[in-house]
Structure 1
Amino acid sequence: MTIASPLRHPDTASAPTMTRRGWWLVAANLLLPGSAQVLAGNRRLGRIGIVATLLLWLLAIVTLVVYLIWPTVLYTLFTQTGSLLTLQLLLVAYAVLWVVLTLDTLRLIRLVKTSASARGWIAAFAVIMLVGITGTAGYASVVAGSARGALGDIFSAGPSQPPVAGRYNIMLLGGDAGPDRDGLRPDSMSVVSIDASTGQAVTIGLPRDLDPVPFPATSPLHALYPDGYGYNGRCDVDVCQLNSIYTEAALYKSDLFPAAKKHNSDPGIEAMRDALEGATGLTIQYYVLIDMQGFADLIDSLGGVEVTVKERLPIGGDENLNGVVSWIKPGVQHMSGYTAQWYARSRHGTSDYDRMARQRQLQDAILKQVNPVNVVSKFQGIANAGTQVVKTDIPQSMLGYFVDLGMKTRKLPVKQLELVPPLIAPDDPDYTQIHRLVQASFAAPTPKPTGK
């Protein structure tokens, strides 16, 4: 007699035997889906279940090994549309197979032949395991689908670009849009420069009232403004300063950037890229535009953000405090998206430079909350907000590389270079000095001498 005999050909008249058999089959189905069928049912179905399970285990082991040895490969794989679609289909297929195997296992158990006191427990255990495992696979499939859609909507399909002088320089624009404002204009401008080897990042903040602003010789705007945008009051909009360049290019100079839309950009963004290249002396490979309204939605999807407030700021109202509904008080505050938006935009009693600092502070706080557990548990909301908050020309093919580089960046302190008074004079900037300051910010810190 083989061990399978009492499982395949049990004494159906013995309730204790059928109960023990029921628990064995439920346990076998949990530990190695398909084994219950091999022992007591359709062996062909069982072999399909076992092979599928073993392949899933093998895939998990390979994934872990690759993550430990070469994580960039894994990051790249799981940020590509095709890979995410394949993963989504595999998860759905395995969830369906698990449902079929579990229901067939319950049929093989023949609950009516087990002890009356055990029937409910056996059935409940099987159903709980069914819901838990299929629910997990189903949710993972939904996350993969959401990620596929969000990544496809946000990131471009353009070619990757190499680092310049060992660095990736990314223009970060904060779009000042909201329910009380018409259109979108840059309210904060900075360049995030990242060492392509170490991940060390430097954030270079530029004031929006910088005037004049030079363009590199390769820019189509250089011929129009050879002495710089705003020099001697020359521009085609009301105010000649850095953030006006976006508006002017979008409204009056769009024909100078005919390929912008093709590259997931627009004339205003491309004009700003040229301006920031001229101002910093850097080559900017990519841009990221963050819309302030979407910024609030993103913070809400993350469950809020924790910020240390230095001074009292009004929520609502204008610079004369008309219409104030409440105040953001000093101290550590857990802010909703609505509150954080006002924290970033409030003008009362503060300067544009103070607002720049608060916006950087919010950006840093959000990055600290972006961890795997938080992202996975709230992925749907984050993905939905992301498609509205972020516009960029970073190609999807580069995401794996930048994720890996970002992991290095998070382990290091981010350097800050704010090109604001008294360091520079925005209305009379010395660009030789600015370029020198930018290059100096990339230097590794000098080790402190150690004495005996």
Structure 2
Amino acid sequence: MTLTASPIRHPDLASRDVMTRRGWWLVLLNLLIPGSAQVLAGNRRLGRFGLGATMLLWTVAVVAIVVWIWWPTVIYTVATSTIGLWLFAAAAVFYAVLWVVLAMDTLRLVRLVRTAPTARAFIAAFGVVAMVLVAGAAGYAASLATSASGLLSSVFVAGPSQPPDENGRYNIMLLGGDAGPDRDGLRPDSIRVVSIDAESGHTVTIGLPRNMEDVPFPDGSPLHAVYPEGYGAIDGCEVDVCLLNSIYTEVELRSPEMYPDAVSRGSEPGIEGMRDAVEGITGLDIQYYALIDMAGFQQLIDALGGVTIEVADRIPMGAGHDEEGNEVEITEWIEPGTQVLDGFHALWYARSRYGTSDYDRMARQLQVQEAMLSQFNPANVLTKFQEIAAAGSQVVKTDVPQSMLPYFVDLAGKARSQPITDVPLVPENGFEPEDPDYAVASELIGRALIPPTEEPAE
């Protein structure tokens, strides 16, 4: 082989121009096609291994894109599987190490001392920066995968999946837990049902005020045996007030034996009591629940970098009562207009009750939830994933099995393309929580569950 025929492998060592151009070619080739620099100018065995690994990566990437377009659930399954995430992390670490080895070997092949003095620093810097960016990205991807695996394992349970109800819908109870030093146990401060059509993704949310009275329970519920006419309707209840959100406290602290299998199924007795209550109110089969710790909710918003809210009215902060019942003065206001609220202020915005009703609070809580969901975009989540994962593991408790995540992620994608119907069971909607007519609630919910493309039967 002549020098002219192979200037990359057998360059003119005496020509600084030739060696400089060769150096740039090698570092560029190593960046664009890892392994090619070794095949052309170095250890061909190492080069062929690097090229094979590169071709395999490109092939997997192309196949993944095709699958994403035509069968996205397959990708969701891998991305929410502990085994899949750990395999991805192992592959990312492998490629990170391989790229470091190839980059360092490429810089050796460049022979910087033979290049032009003015170009040496630039060639070396380019090679090092490319190595750090590519290998660093692979290492970060591995870190994200292991963090995601830990988050999924800590939040979601291992168990069988549930089928949709008789109407082809999944109904999920969302509870916003509001524990505090002035409260005897946790009381759900926010109670909502999300009902999703299992095929179309048509979504209805049902807001349940915490002050609902005479809450009915379905036949067969342990609570129905104790309160056949509704919660506290005859002789009161076992806690200070007999409202919807008191059911959690009563069952969890006074009568956990009502639901002896709750903990083994990834739940709690209080949550199961709330599930029975919500089923009695709505007439829906509640397959899953999610309990959100409102204090941890603050950490999650901070992890997202704040949440953007359109504030309609001034909201007071600090007002209320302390542990001894003394009135606390307003310390700050959340002003009207477009506001980017950190976790502390967003939590106050969602929970402040001074001068407003529970129904106003429900509307603000829904507004914060919707704003958070809109900001859970790929760019935001990827750049702040570690913080979100750390907060998320402390915020959410649920009995949704990890095996159902791919299905629900796919269903959520369908739901985003459709308007969400909200059914608040409040006086403005014709339902009186303190003097409830649950037939009215059933009618409101039934109308909302009919998808927009369907007409009710004559």
Q: TM class, shorter-chain normalised?
A: over 0.9
Q: Are the counterparts in 2 of residues 315 and 327 from structure 1 also a CA contact under 8 Å?
A: yes
Distance in 1 between the 2:5 and 2:294 partners?
A: 65
Q: Specify the alignment match of 1:395 in structure 2.
A: 401
Amino acid at match of 2:48: R
Q: Are the counterparts in 1 of residues 186 and 248 from structure 2 also a CA contact under 8 Å?
A: no
Q: Specify the alignment match of 1:426 in structure 2.
A: 433
Matches within 5 A, 1:98-247: 98-164=99-165, 165-177=167-179, 183-247=185-249
Q: Specify the alignment match of 1:8 in structure 2.
A: 9
Distance in 2 between the 1:289 and 1:76 partners?
A: 24
Distance in 1 between the 2:226 and 2:69 partners?
A: 53
Three-state SS of the structure 2 residue aligned to 1:416 is strand
Distance in 2 between the 1:305 and 1:283 partners?
A: 33
Three-state SS of the structure 2 residue aligned to 1:221 is helix
Equivalent of 2:259, from 234, 257, 260?
A: 257
Question: Cα offset for 1:184?
Answer: 2.4
- Cα 1:235–1:180, aligned 2, differ >3 Å: closer, same or farther? closer
Q: Deviations over 1:236-282 (max 9, x none)?
A: 11111111100011011111212111121110101100110011000
- Cα 1:251–1:178, aligned 2, differ >3 Å: closer, same or farther? closer
Distance in 1 between the 2:127 and 2:61 partners?
A: 24
Matched, 1:58 2:59: yes
- Cα 1:4–1:398, aligned 2, differ >3 Å: closer, same or farther? farther
Note the aligned Cα RMSD (angstroms).
1.8
Distance in 2 between the 1:294 and 1:215 partners?
A: 30
Q: Deviations over 1:382-428 (max 9, x none)?
A: 11111111111111111111111111111211111111114112233
- Cα 1:181–1:131, aligned 2, differ >3 Å: closer, same or farther? farther
Gaps of 5+ in 2: none
Matched, 1:368 2:345: no
Equivalent of 2:331, from 306, 322, 325?
A: 325
Question: Cα offset for 1:305?
Answer: 0.8
Q: Specify the alignment match of 1:385 in structure 2.
A: 391
Three-state SS of the structure 2 residue aligned to 1:289 is strand
Distance in 2 between the 1:135 and 1:414 partners?
A: 41
Question: Cα offset for 1:110?
Answer: 1.1
Question: Cα offset for 1:200?
Answer: 1.3
Three-state SS of the structure 2 residue aligned to 1:203 is strand
Matched, 1:87 2:88: yes
Question: Cα offset for 1:194?
Answer: 0.7
Q: Are the counterparts in 1 of residues 209 and 426 from structure 2 also a CA contact under 8 Å?
A: yes
Q: Deviations over 1:116-159 (max 9, x none)?
A: 11111110110111111111111111111111111111111111
Q: Deviations over 1:321-354 (max 9, x none)?
A: 7242210111221111100100111111011111
Three-state SS of the structure 1 residue aligned to 2:139 is helix
Distance in 1 between the 2:439 and 2:283 partners?
A: 9
Distance in 2 between the 1:169 and 1:83 partners?
A: 28
Q: Are the counterparts in 1 of residues 33 and 51 from structure 2 also a CA contact under 8 Å?
A: yes
Q: Specify the alignment match of 2:282 in structure 1.
A: 280
Q: Specify the alignment match of 2:270 in structure 1.
A: 268
Q: Are the counterparts in 1 of residues 193 and 207 from structure 2 also a CA contact under 8 Å?
A: yes
Q: Specify the alignment match of 1:302 in structure 2.
A: 304
Question: Cα offset for 1:12?
Answer: 1.8
Q: Are the counterparts in 2 of residues 316 and 324 from structure 1 also a CA contact under 8 Å?
A: yes
Amino acid at match of 2:99: W
Could you state the TM-score of these two structures normalised by the residue count of structure 2? 0.94
Q: Are the counterparts in 1 of residues 209 and 433 from structure 2 also a CA contact under 8 Å?
A: yes
Question: Cα offset for 1:7?
Answer: 2.0
Matched, 1:411 2:417: yes
Equivalent of 1:436, from 433, 439, 443?
A: 443
Q: Are the counterparts in 1 of residues 172 and 193 from structure 2 also a CA contact under 8 Å?
A: yes
Distance in 1 between the 2:98 and 2:215 partners?
A: 63
- Cα 1:182–1:101, aligned 2, differ >3 Å: closer, same or farther? farther
Amino acid at match of 2:338: V
Three-state SS of the structure 2 residue aligned to 1:7 is coil
Q: Are the counterparts in 2 of residues 4 and 39 from structure 1 also a CA contact under 8 Å?
A: no
Three-state SS of the structure 2 residue aligned to 1:6 is coil
Q: Specify the alignment match of 1:73 in structure 2.
A: 74
Q: Are the counterparts in 1 of residues 185 and 253 from structure 2 also a CA contact under 8 Å?
A: no
Question: Cα offset for 1:379?
Answer: 0.7
Question: Cα offset for 1:115?
Answer: 1.2
- Deviation larger for 421-430 or 24-33: 421-430
Distance in 2 between the 1:32 and 1:231 partners?
A: 74
Gaps of 5+ in 1: none
Amino acid at match of 1:17: V
Distance in 2 between the 1:445 and 1:69 partners?
A: 26
Question: Cα offset for 1:179?
Answer: 7.3
Distance in 2 between the 1:404 and 1:445 partners?
A: 20
Question: Cα offset for 1:182?
Answer: 6.5
Question: Cα offset for 1:447?
Answer: 9.2
Distance in 2 between the 1:175 and 1:430 partners?
A: 26
Q: Are the counterparts in 2 of residues 316 and 325 from structure 1 also a CA contact under 8 Å?
A: yes
Distance in 2 between the 1:186 and 1:283 partners?
A: 20
Q: Are the counterparts in 2 of residues 25 and 105 from structure 1 also a CA contact under 8 Å?
A: yes
Question: Cα offset for 1:108?
Answer: 1.1
Three-state SS of the structure 1 residue aligned to 2:97 is helix
Q: Are the counterparts in 2 of residues 314 and 321 from structure 1 also a CA contact under 8 Å?
A: no
Q: Are the counterparts in 2 of residues 321 and 348 from structure 1 also a CA contact under 8 Å?
A: no
Q: Specify the alignment match of 2:294 in structure 1.
A: 292
Q: Are the counterparts in 1 of residues 184 and 249 from structure 2 also a CA contact under 8 Å?
A: no
Distance in 1 between the 2:26 and 2:453 partners?
A: 66
Three-state SS of the structure 2 residue aligned to 1:327 is strand
Q: Are the counterparts in 2 of residues 287 and 392 from structure 1 also a CA contact under 8 Å?
A: yes
Three-state SS of the structure 2 residue aligned to 1:306 is strand
Amino acid at match of 1:426: P
Question: Cα offset for 1:14?
Answer: 2.1
Amino acid at match of 1:427: E
